[in-house]
Amino acid sequence: MTAPELIESPSERAPRENFVLNLGPQHPATHGVLRVKLTMDGEFITRAEPVCGYIHRMQEKMAENRTFAQFLPNTSRIDYLSAMTYTHAFVGAVERAAKLQVPPRAEYIRVITSELNRISSHLVWWGAFLLDLGGFTPLLYAFDDREKILDLLEAITGARLTYSYYRIGGLYNDVDDAFLSGTRAFVSHMRPRLKMYRELVTDNIILRKRLIGIGPVSAEMCRKYGASGPVLRGSGVAYDVRKAEPYSVYNQLDFDVPHLPEGDSMARYLVRLEEIAQSLRIIEQGIDKLPSGPVMAEKVPRVLKLPAGDYCYAVEAARGRFMVRIVSDNKEIPYRVKLRTPCLSNLSLFEEASRGMLLPDALAFMGSLDLVIPDIDR
């Protein structure tokens, strides 16, 4: 990059210099209130410094002021796009500490609803990501399909986004036959749609030119920053909490962990689309294997006190590894709750990985990280 003659410095005291560009906190490409302080050399980024905390709500302090059951609805509001998996981690940690035996039917329904939630989350990402890249149409297709999932989940949970469907020891209520047949119908509806997504978008030459080779992230960089989920799997590491620390009934279901070695934005894109296909497989098996029985453990004490100590429970959320660490001092309210969220770690590598990148490429890269800002800020 050489400066054009017209703007060349008029004197020796005014050399060519970098300028600071604020991206956000209100910018459509950041999908929420994230601010990135960019130091630019022309169109190239020399330093990108994310500034977080614009929607910080101090969820962890809230947890210290209410009982475990009272904090449960908050867990749907951290990453509002994958509320099911977040609630799963919280109730899982409490159940692990209280040694509650969750009925198998409840665990299977948790898996089915979590995977439906994962698909709806990936569909939002897919539509919004392509919107970032300048394609408006895919968003309409994605929201059309997502609507079917929201309708299914609304019928059993009463909510379309912040479900709070799981309870400590089981579920809020059982699913009915309409839900099961509707979910089967959705699975058979979604498979041809994935084929259409591929033909409509994935094979598009413009999309490929925008994504292939953009924002390369190595497996080593992921490890140093603790990145997980599709970011890590797009860098060739088949790490998935559902396999690495099996929870619920995932070890009784057959599914693959899609991973690609390239580490670029295209790899992350392909991994997420293949994850939708794998989630469909899990849902189908879950319905096939769904046992009958109660959906709530029998002896859940009304006043729940966890034995003193600390307990971790990790799940594979749509964006990666989400872990809850509960420190208990044998009281009704937790002594400390730590929420380890995937987006914070995934974004933390942005500064290093975006160095020297063109600004439009950095936006494509940021979109491929699939950020949900309340998940970072908590």
Partner 1 sequence: MASSSFATNASFMTATASNGTPAPASPAANPVAVPPVPAPVQPVAPPPEPAPALLAGSVIQLHVVDHAIKGVHLETTVSPDQVIASALEMDQAGLALDTITGVDWLAEKQMEVVYDYFHPVTGLRVAIRSRVSREDPEIPSISQVFPGANWHERETHDFFGIIFAGHPNLEPFLLPEDATYHPLRKDFAS
Distance of closest approach, residue 181 Cβ to partner 1, in angstroms: 10
Stretch that binds partner 1, among 77-85, 95-103, 161-169, 354-362 (CB under 8 A): 95-103
User: From CA 135, how far away is CA 82, in angstroms rounded?
Assistant: 24
Applying CB under 8 A, among 16, 43, 61, 331 the residue interacting with partner 1 is 61
101: which 2 tokens? 């035996």
- Quick check: 310 binds partner 1 (CB under 8 A)? yes
Rank residues 41 and 60 by Cβ distance to partner 1 and give the closer one: 60
- Quick check: 231 binds partner 1 (CB under 8 A)? no
Stretch that binds partner 1, among 14-22, 69-77, 164-172, 249-257 (CB under 8 A): 249-257
Applying CB under 8 A, among 313, 365, 367, 374 the residue interacting with partner 1 is 313
| Size of the residue set binding partner 1 (CB under 8 A) | 81
Are 350 and 48 within 8 A, CB to CB?
yes
Rank residues 134 and 246 by Cβ distance to partner 1 and give the closer one: 246
Give how far Cα 365 sits from Cα of 200, 208, 308, Å: 21, 13, 43
User: From CA 59, how far away is CA 377, in angstroms rounded?
Assistant: 9
Find how far residue 76's CA is from the centre of its chain: 12
Per DSSP, helices labelled H in the chain are 59-63, 68-71, 83-98, 104-132, 137-157, 177-197, 205-211, 219-225, 230-233, 241-244, 265-289, 342-348, 350-353, 359-368, 373-377
How much is the CA Rg of the chain, to the nearest whole Å? 22
Applying CB under 8 A, among 33, 139, 187, 290 the residue interacting with partner 1 is 290
Rank residues 116 and 232 by Cβ distance to partner 1 and give the closer one: 232
* Region 63-82 residues binding partner 1, contact defined as CB under 8 A: 64
Residues in contact with 59: Cβ distance below 8 Å, sequence separation at least 6, in sequence order: 74, 77, 78, 339, 378
Applying CB under 8 A, among 147, 154, 256, 298 the residue interacting with partner 1 is 256
Stretch that binds partner 1, among 78-86, 116-124, 150-158, 272-280 (CB under 8 A): 272-280
Stretch that binds partner 1, among 10-18, 23-31, 96-104, 206-214 (CB under 8 A): 96-104
- Quick check: 115 binds partner 1 (CB under 8 A)? no
Rank residues 67 and 202 by Cβ distance to partner 1 and give the closer one: 202
Question: What contacts 24+ positions apart, CB below 8 Å, involve 256-260?
Answer: 257/233, 258/233, 259/233, 259/234, 260/233, 260/234, 260/236
Stretch that binds partner 1, among 66-74, 129-137, 250-258, 363-371 (CB under 8 A): 250-258
Provide the 3-class DSSP secondary structure of residue 309. strand
Distance of closest approach, residue 300 Cβ to partner 1, in angstroms: 16
- Quick check: 177 binds partner 1 (CB under 8 A)? yes
User: From CA 157, how far away is CA 163, in angstroms rounded?
Assistant: 6
Whether the CA torsion 62, 95, 279, 106 is positive or negative: it is negative
- Quick check: 103 binds partner 1 (CB under 8 A)? yes
* Region 339-358 residues binding partner 1, contact defined as CB under 8 A: 340, 344-345, 348-349, 352
Residues in contact with 306: Cβ distance below 8 Å, sequence separation at least 6, in sequence order: 68, 94, 97, 98, 326, 328, 330, 334
Rank residues 150 and 194 by Cβ distance to partner 1 and give the closer one: 194
Applying CB under 8 A, among 47, 77, 96, 305 the residue interacting with partner 1 is 96
